[in-house]
Amino acid sequence: MYIIEMFPENYLLFLQIIIVMFVTPGGPRVLIMSQSINYGFKKSLWTAFGDVTANSVQMLLVLFGLSALIEIFPNIVSVFKWVGISYILYVAFGFFKSKANLDIKTGKQIKSNTALFRDGFFIAFFSPKAIVFFAAVFPTFLTGENYIAHFIIMLISWVTLDFLTLAIYSKVAEKIIDQLKSNPKTLNYVSAAALTVIAIFIAIKV
């Protein structure tokens, strides 16, 4: 009975909401597919690590009054939105101008794990969809006496499902792009175009 009480009220609803968010293509999903295509599945997982780290930081900020800060400074969401768009376009431009440096053994382009982690972190951290969710929706599930337990359970659930779906997107991208492997420059253009479309969509719709 105690174990059941540890879970947040409406926990299943929380899972349904985040699963829908995770399976819906967005900046982080398009990014990791691009990274997988260009650098390989295993290296792209560093992008996923960056993503879930950013979201974990956002969840911790909720405990320190993120919602109240946004109420006081509502324009902060817009600022984060445009910073995120700018970073997505920066990554897209990086793909576009890349000279396609290849690892001879793997046939994949070379990029440091730190850079992949950074890309995943910044695009996830400045995602307006994530900021609104964590500021407005996430706190509504943190109720009752087991506040910290609820937080830990939701954090673990988010990180696990987010990382898993990112890995699936990455693996799928690696499998379906085989026909373009002979032309790395084309891969760069495809990745740059996909990220640019996502940036434009966020600018118009979010």
- The total of structural domains in the chain comes to 1
CB 109 within 8 A of CB 33: no
- 40 burial class (0-12, 13-18, 19+ CB within 10 angstroms)? middle
pTM of the entire predicted model: 0.75
Q: Is residue 156 part of a domain?
A: yes
The rounded distance, in Å, linking the Cα atoms of 8 and 154 is 8
Structure tokens at 42: 């295993």
pLDDT level of residue 142 (50, 70, 90 thresholds): confident
Residue 168: pLDDT above 80? yes
Weakest-pLDDT range from 1-5, 57-61, 112-116, 148-152: 1-5
More confident residue, 65 or 196: 196
* Lookup result for tokens 């985040």: 18
Q: Is residue 18 part of a domain?
A: no
CB atoms within 10 A of CB 55: 23
Q: Is residue 44 part of a domain?
A: yes
- 95 burial class (0-12, 13-18, 19+ CB within 10 angstroms)? buried
User: 83 is in which domain, residue-wise?
Assistant: 26-205
Tens of pLDDT along 54-64? 999 988 887 77
The rounded distance, in Å, linking the Cα atoms of 170 and 112 is 17
Tens of pLDDT along 82-133? 776 777 787 777 767 665 544 434 445 678 899 999 999 999 988 877 887 8
* Lookup result for tokens 């506040």: 147
- pLDDT of 44: 92
CB 35 within 8 A of CB 131: no
Residue 151 belongs to what H/E stretch?
Answer: helix 147-176
- pLDDT of 105: 47
Q: Is residue 188 part of a domain?
A: yes
- pLDDT of 194: 72
More confident residue, 71 or 203: 203
More confident residue, 185 or 17: 17
Tens of pLDDT along 24-52? 878 888 889 888 888 888 999 999 999 99
